[in-house]
Amino acid sequence: MQRLECQVKNYNWGKRGHDSEVARLFAAGHKNFQVDEDETYAELWMGTHPDGPAKLSNSSTRLSSFIAKSHSASYLSNNNWKEDIHLPFIMKVMSIARSLSLQVHPNKEQAVRLHERDPLHYPDRHHKPELAYALTQFELLCGFRPADEILANIEAFPSLRSVMDGHNCENLRQVLERETSSQSLKCRQALAACFGEMMEKTRCHPDLVGELVDELIECLNSGVRGCLTESTVEVIQKMYVDFPGDVGVFSPLILNHMILKPGECCYYAAEELHAYLSGECVECVGCSNNTIRAALTPKFIDRDALCEVLNYRMTAPEDYLVPAIPLADYPGVQSIVSLDTLDSRDVSRGDIIYIPPGRRLRFSRCSSELEAFRTFSYEIGPDHENRKVVNVIKVIF
């Protein structure tokens, strides 16, 4: 069992200073760390990905090297020996003050194609499904709205109809009326034409898009709502302040706005358009840092790749929720583990621990309430064919 030194990411959308759970958690586990109240603390990474590799706290050895050299590597044949063995996931704590980019992640086949085409912006050849567990009220956009809601907002907001092109919108309405399911290929193609026109207009006519965004805000200020809730209207107005003139301000009109309570969880696979908006969560993603962005960011935008990757599935937000399943008698916490060097170890808030394969542990005495999040897998990480190793990371809150 090894304590880990993990990396904090200071992205500009993160919460500042002690307002950030990332900063508070990292400071709790690093007694000499001083929180800067003017700095943003967005993500705490726990994993082996090269963009933020964890290291053993007692030696500064990379966790990926430790896994390769430890007895966990005995599951591998000599022909598969590696200096580094990666976990198949990255576990993160995220503290979000304002919207992340409107983005999507590729599936495995798409990731390979993107890497071969543009390795600078897509350095990973792997997919990136994502699961987010809310620590506080957590808001996000995820997946295209049900078809009837998209049509209602097209009808209510002329600026949305204009940015998508009236002909495309009318075709979408007619196709949805004819088809028995909004998941049919023709329906998805019709939605793709609407969304693609949004992306094309912002590339070729950014001033026009800015004017249409202004018209949208004027419409909202006059009381028009379509099928939007007041909380979604607030999201749009905040986006307008943070990203004036950005086509992404239209996104809540066509994407599901989800508000998770603490303890609720959502999952979305590759090809799903999404954007985190606010709050704090524990996130577990595939071991990849590939992100295809369309809007709401100063970073690299690749609208063509994004339109190519999207699945254009129209569905209710409930489809992304993951119900919690209590494991009251889970055997992994019922036996005291025999460690190599000692029988017990103190843990406290902010500790991040790597537990090698096959190890079980029990918290035998707690001086206060304990909450821990665990990520584990029966696979080794990307670029390895043998999938028999079990790896575990715990973070103590």
| Cβ-based neighbour number of residue 392 at 10 Å | 20
Nearest to 375, CA basis, from 193, 132, 182: 132
Distance CA 96, CA 91 (A): 16
Nearest to 134, CA basis, from 124, 142, 143, 122: 142
Dig out the tokens for 346 from the structure: 């103190």
DSSP string, 308-374: HH----B--GGGGB------TT-GGGSS----SS-S-----TT-EEEE-TT--------SS---EEE
Distance CA 369, CA 312 (A): 44
The catalytic residue positions are 293
DSSP string, 146-196: PHHHHHHHHHH-HHHHHHH-HHHHHHHHHHHHHSS-TTSHHHHHHHHHHHH
Say whether 103 counts as a known binding-site residue: yes
Residue 326: partners with Cβ closer than 8 Å, 6 or more residues away: none
In 3-state terms, what secondary structure has residue 132?
strand
Say whether 105 counts as a known binding-site residue: yes
Nearest to 294, CA basis, from 243, 259, 237, 256: 243
Please check whether residue 87 is in contact with residue 391, taking contact to mean a CB–CB distance below 8 angstroms.
Answer: yes
Residue 53: partners with Cβ closer than 8 Å, 6 or more residues away: 7, 47, 62, 63, 64
Distance CA 253, CA 195 (A): 12
Please check whether residue 14 is in contact with residue 43, taking contact to mean a CB–CB distance below 8 angstroms.
Answer: yes
Nearest to 97, CA basis, from 142, 41, 143: 41
Dig out the tokens for 314 from the structure: 């129209």
| Cβ-based neighbour number of residue 121 at 10 Å | 16
Query: Which residues are annotated binding-site positions for Zn(2+)?
Result: 103, 105, 130, 274
Query: Which residues are annotated binding-site positions?
Result: 103, 105, 130, 274
